[in-house]
Structures are given as C-alpha cells and as structure tokens.
C-alpha cells in the first residue's frame, strides 16, 4: 500500500531472517510478511523461490558480497527510512538470522533515530542448518558444553584476531564469512595451541541441494584453501561456514572410511 511522503502514519520496517537458504525453512511469520510487503530490500544469495513469496512487492537488492561491488550500509539505512515513509509494509530480508553478523543494530539505530517503527523476525542461522545437515550436534554432553560464533569480518578499529584468540579454547567454533581467511585462521588457532588433528567441517550452501561438504583437520585447513577442500574450480559462490571441534570427530572418521554421503549433497573428505 503506497503512501504519500508526508503521511502522518509512517510505515513499519520488518527485519526478517531468510534462514540458511531453503525456502521451506522460512518461519511462518517471515512468509506472511513477504506476502504482505510493499517493498523488500534483500541481501545477496536470497533464492528466487524465497523472493517470489513477495509477489506484490518492489524488490531492491542491497546485498554485500566479499570482493564484489556492495551497497554501502549508510545507503541501505537511507533506503529503509525512505521506503517506510512512502509504504506501509517494508521488509528488510537478511540471510540467516538478522541478529547474527547481519549489521541489524546499525539499521535498527538508524530507524529509531528517524522515528520509524520496526520489528525483528528471527531466522534459522547457518550454523544450525549446517549441523543439522551433517547430523552432528554443536553441543554434546561430556564433549562440548559451549559454542562460539565468530567472523573475521571487522569494522573500523576492530581486531578480528583478538576475538579469535579469546575464543580459541571454546570446544566448538562456528566461523561465518571465513572462507577467504580460512588458512590464516587455522594457523592462528594452531599458534594458540589448538591441536592439529582437531576435526573441521566446511559447508557451502547449507540446506540447499547445491550444498557441498568437506571434513578435514585443522592442519588440513591450514594447508589448503576452502575452494580446494570443497572441490570447486574457483572461490565458492555460496555462503560458506567453517566449523571445528571434537563434536565432528565421528563424522570425519566416517567420511575417511568412505561412508556414503548424505542424500542430495556433494561431499569431500581431506
């Protein structure tokens, strides 16, 4: 429902989690809002099957991709504010969960400063989808009672190595947006005393039929780039999650013994 820019009733912005990729992993609330939306500002890597749910909306791509042209965050904030002043239902569709490495706080702050009402709709994050695909629990009694979710992406003045070193001893680590820095991260963890034989699981496009998996060790991750471990000809095109910890020991052993991979997913062991 379009409105005039000087309306006394500004629209509302919904920060919606699109989940890990598969359309049927959207929440019911997310699907309902997409169907009602007038405008959808969406991340890169959101499937057309998901975007098609916003059948009546104007769709605006505002994705960020490493090494490619990306939309500046301040411009995204301005677009959200403008959309809310001219439309009733605005959806900001983010991959995974908006509150995990999605810069949601910056968008919420901008909306609050502009007097725009907003609400957050959680989504399934990549780590949950990846461990479900592998059939490995990120936590396990007697083996892993804690999990750290980390990313090497850092803002101005931040040192990503500091966060990595501070969490190097956490039993299970899930590293988001880390494929390009994976070898350096592995070396850093080895320097921090993490065992070279620590199991590592790498998942691209978790939850999708195009998903690729590779299981290796920390020393293996330090020696080979993620693209080689996944068996791709070039840099991975999809979202990649790197996870490590003893919870993946059995999965690594099974792959090394050439147990058949999960149905519908490519698999490599290195």
With DSSP H G I counted as helix, E B as strand and the rest as coil, what are the percentages for the chain, rounded to 5? Answer: 35, 25, 45
Question: What is the spatial distance between Cα 139 and Cα 209, in angstroms, rounded to a whole number?
Answer: 26
Classify 162 as helix, strand or coil: helix
- Parallel, antiparallel, or unpaired for β 240-244 and 172-176? antiparallel
Classify 85 as helix, strand or coil: helix
* Annotated catalytic residue within 64, 97, 113, 233: 64
Return all residues near 169 (Cβ < 8 A) that are at least 6 apart.
192, 193, 194
Known catalytic residue at 43: yes
Asked if 57 contacts 95 with a C-beta cutoff of 8 angstroms, the reply is no
Known catalytic residue at 38: no
* Annotated catalytic residue within 43, 94, 113, 233: 43
Q: Which residues are catalytic?
A: 43, 64
């Amino acid at each position: 429902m379009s409105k005039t820019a000087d309306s006394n009733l500004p629209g509302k912005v919904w920060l919606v989690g699109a989940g890990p990729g598969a359309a049927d992993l959207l929440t019911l609330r997310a699907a309902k809002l997409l169907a009602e939306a007038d405008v959808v500002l969406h991340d890169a890597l959101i499937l057309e099957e998901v975007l098609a749910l916003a059948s009546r909306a104007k769709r605006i791509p505002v994705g960020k991709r490493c090494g490619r042209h990306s939309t500046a965050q301040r411009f995204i904030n301005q677009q959200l504010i403008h959309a809310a002043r001219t439309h009733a239902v605005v959806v900001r569709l983010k991959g995974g969960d908006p509150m995990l490495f999605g810069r949601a706080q910056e968008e919420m702050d901008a909306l609050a400063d502009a007097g725009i009402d907003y609400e957050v709709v959680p989504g399934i994050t990549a780590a949950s989808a990846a461990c479900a695909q592998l059939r490995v629990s990120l936590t396990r009694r007697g083996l892993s009672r804690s999990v750290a979710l980390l990313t090497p992406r850092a803002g101005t003045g931040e040192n990503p190595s500091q966060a990595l070193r501070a969490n190097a001893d956490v039993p299970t680590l899930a590293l988001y947006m880390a494929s390009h820095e994976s070898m350096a991260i592995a070396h850093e963890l080895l320097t921090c005393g993490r065992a070279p034989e620590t199991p590592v699981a790498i998942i691209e496009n978790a939850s999708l039929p195009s998903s690729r998996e590779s299981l290796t060790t920390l020393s293996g991750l330090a020696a080979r780039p993620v693209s080689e471990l996944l068996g791709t000809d070039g840099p991975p095109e999809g979202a990649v999650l790197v996870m490590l910890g003893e919870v993946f020991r059995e999965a690594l052993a099974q792959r090394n013994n050439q147990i058949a991979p999960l149905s519908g997913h490519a698999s490599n062991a290195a």
